Each structure stands twice: as structure tokens, then as C-alpha cells.
Chain A
């Protein structure tokens, strides 16, 4: 397949650009400098054939949907196809006529080559060439790797295989123990063993269980044995104890049988008998004592006589006896009371006299016996009236006091009013302050305006000064803002444009200068190289040869002219040829030099070629340097022209024009200065406005203060101070005036109130005086009586009332006593008349005697009654004793009957025998009880029966023997129990802890690891085997034809330095590549120089390509600056080789190195070499062939 044309319709930065390769054979050299789009073109080539790559979009100029690349293809069978591929999913491919194509249409031209293979095998650049060459060395020249890498375009196959092998080895080694799998396998085997060890099989389980059961049976048997022995021991111990008891039991039985006739009396029998006998004796004594006491009482009763008469009148006598003491007291008291009454009468008379009632004799003399008249009662006013008069008197006194107080108050208020009026008269009149206050407030609002004005003025001055300095600094020769404002400067856009223009010019200039310097350096390097080669003397060039030959020919002409033809006029030439005059020597030297040059060229071909190339390169560089120097000059002129235009933009003569950067800064400074000036003007206006306000405030204050003071002047602040003081004074004065007026008003009101109070009191006093007089008249007292006199008279009247009351009370009492005495005397007389033996005389005395007689009669009566009461109990005690006597006799009879005797005296003996029999019975019972207690439920008779025929002295020995048996059995049981516990513990441990399942689980987890590792190992093995086998297969299939072609190509590429290549086997048995050096013979790869290895790989790769193209649809070979690493000679050889390949298939050689073009022109003749110029991306023109 050939590419006839590549149309970059819309791709990368290309639009409608085409490369026309034509249908004929040829080596297409596509030249484009940097950025011309070489890489884009290479990508386009692959994309149009195989599709656009996934990641790279190349849509920076064209939208992805618009991207389109066209290609015209010609198949080896003559088929042609023109198509366009667009970047889209469906219908990406269209034919030239716009009809849709499928991928198959293109694939039929590709001969089964995939994109990957195309890019890796049919394309190569110098970088990858070198990488592959290094890999060849790393592979040790292995033929398989070399061929496979060349054939696949993949470097580092051996490294991949080595890595796979190493990864496998880390997992498993047949003889190893440390790799992961080896280790895990050992571990899992160990874990399974552990699991087996801990598995309890049913057989094992049964065995262990049986052993435990046997131990249990043995244990049961031993325990039975122990029980029997213990039973025997108990029996023997029991017999030993029962033997003496049995003898005692028999003795007691005999005694009981001897007392068979004796009744068994109850335990309380003797006590009952003694009690009955004691009670009988006591009853007899009690009967005797009771009879004697009754007889004595009866005698004493008969001896007592009682005064019945007096007792019959006892009630009357007792009443009179009680009255008798009162009557005796009356006698003494009546005299004393009458004396008291007489004193009271006298006192009343005195009081009456004192009150001047009834003309000095206010009271009649009272009679002590018939004095019950109401003494003076009708002469005195009633108590109610007297009380009313006293109340009125109090009211009068109160009113008098109030009147005095009111009068005093009225006078005081009048005086205070006068005083207040005086004070008010002394205080100045009110003055208005409103205007002054408003003016002051307005002035205060301004604050310290004067200081502010001063401060801002100073700041303004400072800023203005700085502004002037700034303006001067801008280099205008003036400090005036107006000049600065008026200046005509270019607009910002213009400045920016010129800045760009100048910067561009500067950048280009710099680039040109850099180029010039680089060229100078390159020339210097060339010179050094030339000098170095010269210095070795191992190199000569055609030019050297030509120069030497020219010198030699000149020498020959001179020699011939001078010495053969003998021509004259050659002296000057001879002088030039051989300044020292030794022409022959010089000529011989020239001949020698020419020969040496030839020899050098022949022997040191490489060095000579290099020297030649260096010189050629130097000449090339020199030419470029001249071009570069011219470019620098042209750019300098351009830069200067732009500079002139720039300067012309600015006002002439006013400022120094600098570069746009500086001028931009200058403009910024100017703009800033104008902004500052604007600000300063605004500030100036503001200050002026404040000065005006300060003046207005000052004038307003002065005007308002003029109403209060005469002279006014000064600054606003002092005016404000004075205004504040003045305002304060006036306000204070006005306040005082208002207070004084208020005081006069208040005081006046108070005085009026006081006067009104005096008047009200006077009216009340008038009303009281009328009432007073009326009351006195009603009480019969003189109407002109003063209140004090009336009160005194009324006081005496009260005292008279009290005395009268006491007198009446005494009189009543005296009369009552007289009546009581008379009544008592009459009663005593009446009693004495009826009572036999009654005395006569004073009633009081008679009464006393009768009372004594009555007391004696009562004492006797009481004595008689007491004696009679004592007789009854004595009689009752006697009856009770008789009853007791009867009961005691009956009890003794009953006891005798119980004991079986007739006489009480027999009872004690019978009681003793009964007790003896009872003790024997009880002793026998106790013995039987003890025997039964230790008998374990056996019958008593049986227990005594088991003692029969047992010798007592044998028992201790038998017991000892039995106890020894028991201890032996005990020890046996303990041992058996320990054995069983141990068996059970073993069993429990086996079943409980350290379960086999845990080991199985652990083993399962390790197996999981093994499985995972096995899987990884298998995967690695498959990959390694697959790759290794593929390489072997590749080698087998391709070794012959490729090696054959590569051999020729290698010879060509090394320009015959190497005769070729062949396969050989090294000492390790590996098939390796061998290079045949023309001089040194067979060489392994590692003996070759880097350049030669590069050539070797290139030979292999080109052989692969040729082999492919020979067998299948040929594919173009795309070389991208492939030959950069080769020296010129090798590069030329390579170019010739590529040209030879191009004869049969297409070769596209991309480069952006001009010298590669030059080399190609030298190495490849014109019909074969077809040059294309990859134009700058912006070009709309098509491919253009460079004239050759």
C-alpha cells in the first residue's frame, strides 16, 4: 500500500493542507522546522488509517466534530481508495464522493497490521531506536529477544520475563522453604496433624468412657465393704456397753418383785397426808380463840349508858352553837361602828359649810338611832348635771387655749409676710435669655472650628507643597498643576500598543542576538573540533588534500620554471613560496604533505570524514551567522523606527520621553498628581466654608450678648465662654426672683388662713358661754361663776356624796346586828324551857353548856356502836374453824383408804415402801431405754439376747481388728476416686479445650492463602510461558529470512565496516547474534560501539519491515528524525538504505533538521529523493516541492 496523498482538511492547526506523495517509488523527505506540525502530521497519518486515539483530541483550532483527515491510498494490486475520516462514532469514514465507507474498506489496504503494530513496527524515531539498541545489549545479544523486539517494536522483553520469573520465585521454589507457598504448605501440613491429634474418635471416646464406668463400679464395691465393717464395729461397741446394764436390770427386777404388795402411791401422797394433819390441828385452835373474844365484847357493851334527851335536840343545839360566835362578835363591833358614823356626820357638816350651801349650815345633826333621813339630798344638784357642767368647763378651757394659740399664729404669719415682701423687693427683675441660648447652641455645634481650620489649612499647605514637588519631579520644568493638566499625552491604548511593538522588537532582537551567539558558540565548537583533529594529526580533508596538492602543483610550476625552463620573473613567487629561499625543500615538503593528506584520508577515514564534516558545518554556520548578523541589524533599525514614532507621540520639549514601561509609570504618576490636585482644591473650598461659618457664629453671639453687656469683641471661643458665663448668671438671677415671688405668695396665703382660724374660734367661744350660763342656772349655781370656782364647788359636792353614802351603809349594818342578837336570845330561851336539866342565865353561856353536854352524849354513843360491830366477825371466824376441822378429818380418812390401812399412823411406813418400789421401776426403765437407744431400732430383748455368749474381755481386741480393716478400705476408696477424677479430667480436656475444629479452621485459612498464591503462581506461569514461547516461535519463524535481510542491511548501514550478521550459540547454549567486522572478525553485541548497535537494531527493524512487505501488503515505513544519532557518514549510508527500500515500498522520512535535508540531497539522487516542505500551520497553500 502506498499513500498517494494526505489531506489535513481540518486537524490540529492545519486547515486544507495536503501532502502529495505521488504514485511512484521514492524516499519522501518531509521537512518542517519546529512547530511546523510534524508530530501532528504523524498522528494524523495513524488516525486516518486506524481511527482517532481516545485521549488526544487535537481540537484546539477545530471543533472535534469538524475534524477531518483525508487520505488517498494505492494498493499493491492497483486498487485505489480515497477517503475522509471524521472524529465521530457513526459514518466516520466517507469516500471521496461523500458516500459512507466501513472500516473494512481501509483494512483491506493494511494487510492485517493493527494500529499498535503500525505505530511500533512501521514507525521509528531516533529516541526509540536508541532505547531498542540499549535493550539489545541488556538482552545479551540473544537472537530471540533481538528478533522479537525488532519485530514487535517492544523493548525490554527480557526484563518482563525476568520480572515474571522473580515474582514466581517469590511464591514458590521446588526446593525452597522460604517462598510463600513453600512456607504455607508446611504450615498447613502441621495444622492438619494438630487437628488429627486433637480429634476424639468414637472408639477413643468409648474406651475412655468405659474406663470411667469401671472405676465407678469398683468404687461402689469398696463402699459396700466399708459399710459392713462399720456395722460390725457398731455392734461390738454396743454389746460391750450392754453387758453391765443387763446385770443391773436383773437386780432391779428382783427388788420390784419383793415389793409386789405395796401399792405405788403417787408422789404427792406424803405431802397430802402431812397437810391434812396440820389443818386439823389449826382448826381446833381457832375455835377456842373465837369463843373467848365474843364473851368479852358482850360484857363491855353492857357497861355503857347514853344521854338520849340531849341527842334528841342536837340539831337545834348545833345551829345555836354556830350562831353563838357571831352574837359574841356583835357585842364588840356595834360600839365601834356607831363611833365611825358619828365621825362621818361631822365631816359632811364641814364640807357643806365649805361649799357655803344652805347658808353655812348645810346639814342637820343626825340622830344616832333614828338617823335614817336623806341628809341634804335635795339641796345638791344631780350628778348628771354636775358632770355636764364639768364637761362644759373643760371645753371652755380648751377653747381659751386654742384662741390664744390662733392669735399667736396670726401674728407670726403676718410678720413672716412682711419679711418675704421685703426680700422680694430686693431681687432684680426677670430678663429673657432665648436668643442668647440659641446663638450659643449654634456656636457650640461648630466645635473647635478655629483649630480645625488652622490644622486643615496647614495640611493643605503641606500637600500643596508636596504636589508641587511631584510635578517638578515629573520633569516638566514647572510646579503648576494647570500645566500638568493642559499637557497633551497619548491615550492608554496607544501606549499599550507601542509597548507591545517595542517589546516584540526587543524580543526578536534578543532572539536574533541569541541565535548569533549560539552560532558563534557552534563555530567556536567546530573550530575546537577541527583544531583537536588537526592536533592529533590523524585527519585530513579533501580540502586539505586539495590545498596540499595546489601548493605542491604551485611548487612544481615554480621548480619547473626556475630550474627546468629557467624562466625569469619568478623571484617574487619564489619568495612567496619559500621565504627562506629553500624552494626544493619546500617543494619536497609540499609533496610529502599532499601524500600525507592522502594517507591520512585513507588510513583515518573516520577522523578525516569528521574533520571534513566539521569544516562543512563551520562554513554552514558561518553563512548562517552572516544571515543572523544581518537580521540583527535589520531588527535594530526596526526597533529604532518604532522608538521614533513613540517619541513623536509626546509633546516636544516639555518632557523626556522614555520607554513605554517608564512612560506608563510616568502617566500613572501624572494621573495621581492631578487626582491629588483635585483633592486639594476640594479641601480649600471646605476650609473656606468653615471660615464663613465661624464668622457668622461670632457675629450672632455678639448681637445677642449686646442686650446684657456693653463692650464685646474677641475670638469666637472667648465670646462663647463669656456668653456661657452670662447665660449662667442670668439664669441664676431669674431663678432667685421666681423663688422670692413664690415665697410671698405662700406666706400671704398662710396669714389669711391664720386670721380665719381666730375668727372661727371666737364664734365657738361665744356659743360656749351661752351654754355655760344655762347649765349653771339649771344646777342652781350662780350664773357668773367662773369655770374654776364651779369646778371647786362641784368637787366638794362629790365628797359630800361619798360621806353620805358611807354613813348610810353604817347605819344599815348597826340595825341588822341588833336584830340578830334579839333573835338568838329568843331561841335559847325557848330551848331551855323544854329540855330537862337545862341551865339558865345569859343566852350565850346557856348555849355553850348545852353544846358541851351534846358532845359527851355523842362520844358514848359512838363507843357503844364500835363494840357491837366487833362481835359479828368473831362469831363468823369460829364457824369457819369448825368447817375446816371437818374437812381435814375427811381427807385423812381418804388417804388411809388409798394406802389400804385403817389407822393414820400406819401411813408413813407404807409411803416409804412405795417410794422404794418406784425407784426400782424407774431404774429398770432407764436401763432399757439406754439399751434401745444404741440398738439401731432393734428390740430390747434381742439386744440383750445378742450379748449372750459374748465374752466381754474379747471385745476390745475384735474392735481393733475391725477398725484396721475399715482404714484399709477407706484408703482404697480414696485412691479409686482420685483415679476416676484424673480419667474424667483427661476426658473433659479432650472434649472441651483445644478443639480439633480450631486447627481445621486455621488450616482452612492457610489453605485459602495457598489457593490465592497458587492462583497467582499459575497466572504468572501462564504469562511467562506464553511470552517465552511466543518469542521462541517468533524466532523460529523469522530467523532465516530476517537475518538474511538484516545481514545485508547491516553491511550497508555500516558502510561496509561490517560484513554482516549471523546466529551463533554461546557457551551457555543460547542462540545469540554475531556481527562480522571486516577487520576484527566475529564480535558479540557487547563488543560493538553504541552507534554500531543502533545500526544493528535499525538493520533488524528494516529487515522486519522488508520481510513483512515482501510477504504481505506492503506498508509505508515512517521514520521520524530517525538518523539524528548517526554520524553523517552512517546517516548517509542509512539514507541510501532507506532509498533502496523506498524503491519497492514507500518510506516517509520526517525531519526538522535542515542538515538532514542536506545529507539526503548528498546521499540520495534526485529522482529517488522527493522533498516536501511542511509549511507553517497558518499556510493555506498545498504541498510544494523544493526545487532540486
Chain B
């Protein structure tokens, strides 16, 4: 008996931080979350699975759009035609979203209740299956939902469907927290988790798995994204849980270590290698790459002085390697200069300009208000949440302000040197 476990579909959630380099590329990433979902439905049909379980977050909470629900229904109907059952729990994004309740879902689909855990059994399958789960209610769920899940049903293959941050996931908000031990001792055969966008296998006996989301939506959600194809034998043992990548557009973080590099050719070769690796990893998919340059190198100043040239070179390399299948999301220069001394200044008041720059870069009390004054006009113009852009946070965060000043001081020094050379 096979079933598919997926979570965090976030249908119609836009792919973030991709600028409009090419209209064609924008077109390719349009509706990527829907396409990934369609791929998953295709997979269910091809593999003739008995069941699909979705562990929450079908939509984004700020998307109360019936177009998504209609799309969802049309896809679930495809499964209905093939006799494939679907069990869904609502996640924190779905809980307050009325679009599901406004639409009649097909007969093969069940959404588990939100007041208490619910169990659905399928006794007509080759292996008798019991799915236990509870949907999220609107609002934050701080209590441990898993604690009240029912005990395993004898003679059934027990699947626990749970939307949770488990314990200790720092990148995601804490929802329905619970420990791994609580899950593994419940007697279930498979814990189908959702909420954490990075796939992870926490235990193999029994399986406790986050499949990750179906489609990466920004640079932080890099690497392959997809679902799990699970197979149980007639004795009700899980024999395989294979990750199947379904993403339409893939995000890559291509790190280039320039430690000890002295010439530009080495930089170019490094970038070429990292891009080629990303392209290979993408398995033929279009991909968005964030190139991160690291290491202590004498090229640091050169990179700071000629960012456009580096970008152009990188774009050309990408085009050479993969046509328009690879596009460059961003190039981040995290290298340091070999002789750069970020300390070693006495506390005495300095009287030379470079010393003063270094001194006041550390003085956020002085610089903070000045920068805030300069940046306020822009912030006031920005719409909504863009006002909270991380770059602008330095206006009120001393640490960020100091970091930005310190980070940009070498770039300013490079500008001054360039003006001298000009």
C-alpha cells in the first residue's frame, strides 16, 4: 500500500525577492506553487497510491481567494476519479481562512476537525489504515496537540497527521510544540508532520518526518522541495519513505570560497564552478541562484569596487552554462581583505580622517539619528510591510547600524581610493 505525505503547499504564495531580469523567467515562476501541486497529484495517480495526507498550510493566511479553493477542488477531483482518498488537517495559515468551508470538497476528501483529535479509518484498503489528526483553530496554538491524540488502533496502519514546530525549530514560529519522544512512544507507524519548510527525517522507527514545502519561495528555501512517497507492506510495516522532488523553480545558494585567491580569473572560475554545481543540482529545472563570496582574499577591494562588472560576468557565466535556465538572484560579497584590521585603534580621539571614519562608524549614537533622518523620506514612501525591510531596520537597531557602518567602511575606502586613482 502506498500513500503520499505532503505539507505546506502555500498555494499561490508568490516567489519572493526575484527581480524582473527577464519576462520569460517571471512567466516560468508564475503559479509555481500550483504547478508543483499538480505534479504531486500526477505522482499520486501514476503511483496508484491509496491515500494522500496533507499536514497543513494549504494556503497563505493572507490569501482569502476562492480561486485557490476552486483550483484545489479541481485537483482533488482528479484523485476522486481514481479512487484515491485525501485526509487534510488545517495548519496555522489555513485555520482562519474561510475559503475551504465556502466550497464543497469532493467526496474523497476529509478535513479533520479542530475541536479535538479525530480518527478516520480505511478498512477497504490492502492494509487497514487509521489516520489520526486535528486541524488548527484560528489563532496561535501554543498547547501540545499531539498529547491528546488517541492511542493506535490495533490491526491498523496508524498515521499521525500533525502540524507542529516540534521542539526547537528557530526559523519558524512555535506551534503545537511537542517532543520527538512523545511521538515515537505513541505506537503510531508514521508521523506525517507539517509546518517546517525544510524537509527532515527525525526518526525512522517509527517514521517522524517533515517533507518540507512543495516549492521553495525565496532564497532561504533553497534546495530540492517535494513530498514523500511512503510504502507499507501487507504486515503494516513502513518499508520505504522516498523523497520525490516536485519543485518547478529551485533556489540555490552557491557559495564561492575565495580564500587565498589573488587574481580575478580564480574568482571567475570559482563562480563558474559554483553555478555549474547549482545547475547540476537543479536536475534540469530553472533555478535562482544566490552567489555568496566568502574567505579572506586580496580581491575583496576589487569586488567592492566593481560590483556591476562582477554581476555582468556572473550573468554571462550563467547564460553560458544554462541559457536562461539559471538566473542570479543576488551576489553577496562576504569576503574580507587580508590586511583589514577591524580593531587595533586606541580609545584616544583620533585626528586623521580614516581614523575618524572608523571611530564614528562605531558611534551609533551619532550616526543613528543622522542615518534615520536621511532614510526616513524613503521609509515613509514605502508601502506596507516593505517599511520593515531589514536594510531600514538599522534606523532603530544600534547593532545593525554599527554592522552596516562597519561593513560599508571598506567599500567607502575603495571609493576614495578609486577617486584617487581616477
Contacts and interface: CB of A to CB of B under 8 A. Distances in A.
Q: Do A and B bind each other?
A: yes
Interface of A: 54, 112, 114, 116-117, 121, 148, 151-152, 154-157, 159-160, 163-164, 172, 174, 181-182, 185, 188-189, 192, 198-202, 204-206, 990-992, 995-998, 1000-1012, 1014-1015, 1017-1019, 1021-1027, 1029-1031, 1033-1034, 1037-1038, 1107-1108, 1111
Interface of B: 12, 14-20, 26, 29-31, 34, 63-68, 70, 98-99, 101-103, 298, 330, 346, 349-354, 356-357, 359-361, 366-367, 370-371, 374-375, 377-378, 381-383, 386, 389, 391-392, 394, 404-405, 408-409, 411-412, 415-416, 419-420, 422
Nearest to A1017: B378
Given A204-B66, A1022-B404, 13 more contacts: A112-B346, A117-B354, A154-B416, A188-B386, A200-B67, A995-B12, A997-B34, A1004-B17, A1005-B19, A1007-B16, A1018-B404, A1026-B360, A1037-B356
A151 B354 CA distance: 10
Nearest to B32: A1001
Nearest to B70: A991
Contacts of A996: 12, 63, 65, 67
Contact of B352 (A121, A157, A163): A121
B101 to A, nearest CB: 8
B237 to A, nearest CB: 41
Contact of B360 (A1010, A1023, A1029, A1107): A1029
B351 A1034 contact: yes
Nearest to A116: B354
Contacts of A991: 66-67, 70
B371 A1021 contact: yes
Between A1004, A1019, A1108, the greatest number of chain B beta carbons within 10 A of the residue's beta carbon is seen for A1004
A205 B14 contact: no
B364 to A, nearest CB: 11
A114 B357 CA distance: 14
A1033 B30 contact: no
Contacts of A1005: 14, 18-20, 26
Contact of A1034 (B99, B353, B370): B353
A996 B409 CA distance: 43
Given A151-B352, A1022-B408, A1011 B389 contact: yes
Between A116, A164, A1022, A1038, the greatest number of chain B beta carbons within 10 A of the residue's beta carbon is seen for A1022
B72 to A, nearest CB: 12
Contacts of B359: 1033
10 contacts: A152-B354, A198-B67, A997-B14, A1004-B14, A1012-B330, A1014-B378, A1022-B394, A1023-B408, A1023-B412, A1033-B359
Contacts of A189: 383
B29 A1001 contact: yes
A1037 B330 CA distance: 41
Between B65, B349, B374, B386, the greatest number of chain A beta carbons within 10 A of the residue's beta carbon is seen for B65
A199 B65 contact: yes
A212 to B, nearest CB: 14
A1031 B415 CA distance: 15
B353 A1026 contact: no
B287 to A, nearest CB: 16
A1008 B412 CA distance: 25
A246 B179 CA distance: 93
Given A112-B346, A156-B419, A1031 B19 contact: no
Contacts of B70: 991
A197 to B, nearest CB: 12
Contact of B15 (A152, A156, A157, A1004): A1004
A1018 B420 contact: no
B386 A1011 contact: yes
A990 B70 CA distance: 11
Between B353, B360, B404, the greatest number of chain A beta carbons within 10 A of the residue's beta carbon is seen for B353
Given A152-B353, A1001-B31, A1025 B67 contact: no
Contacts of B103: 205
Nearest to A195: B65
Q: Which 9 A-B pairs have the closest CB atoms?
A: A1004-B14, A202-B102, A152-B353, A997-B12, A174-B377, A200-B66, A205-B66, A1001-B14, A1018-B391
Contacts of A163: 415, 419
Contacts of A205: 66, 99, 102-103
Nearest to B353: A152
Contacts of B382: 185, 1010, 1014
Nearest to A171: B378
- Say whether chain B's binding surface is mostly helix, strand, loop, or mixed: helix
Given A152-B352, A1004-B14, A1030-B356, A202 B98 contact: yes
A117 B352 contact: yes
B420 A156 contact: yes
A116 B352 CA distance: 11
A1108 B67 contact: no
Given A174-B381, A1001-B31, A1014-B378, A1034 B356 contact: yes
A1019 B367 contact: no
Given A154-B416, A1021-B371, A1029 B352 contact: no
A1017 B376 CA distance: 12
A1022 B381 contact: no
A206 B367 contact: no
A198 B31 CA distance: 15
B99 A202 contact: yes
B16 A1004 contact: yes
A199 B65 CA distance: 5
A1004 B18 contact: yes
A1030 B357 contact: yes
A997 B66 contact: no
A1010 B20 CA distance: 11
B381 A185 contact: yes
B153 to A, nearest CB: 35
A1030 B408 CA distance: 14
Nearest to B394: A1018
Contacts of A1007: 16-17, 386
A151 B353 contact: yes
Given A1006-B20, A1015-B391, A201 B357 contact: no
B226 to A, nearest CB: 21
Given A1006-B20, A1009-B19, A1025-B370, A188 B383 contact: yes
B415 A1023 contact: yes
A114 B355 CA distance: 10
B238 to A, nearest CB: 36
A160 B66 contact: no
A995 B359 CA distance: 53
B301 to A, nearest CB: 11
A991 B405 CA distance: 50
Nearest to B389: A1014
Contacts of B330: 1012
B298 to A, nearest CB: 7
B351 A1108 contact: yes
Contacts of B349: 1037
A603 B378 CA distance: 63
A490 B294 CA distance: 69
A1030 to B, nearest CB: 4
Given A1012-B330, A1026-B361, A1029-B360, A997 B20 contact: no
A201 B381 CA distance: 29
B395 to A, nearest CB: 9
B66 A1025 contact: no
Contact of B353 (A1001, A1003, A1021, A1030): A1030
Contacts of A204: 66
A276 B102 CA distance: 93
Given A182-B381, A1001-B14, A1029 B415 contact: no
A1022 B371 contact: yes
A1031 B352 CA distance: 10
A202 B101 CA distance: 9
Contacts of A200: 65-67
Contacts of A1027: 357, 412, 416
Given A1021-B374, A1029-B370, A1012 B351 contact: no
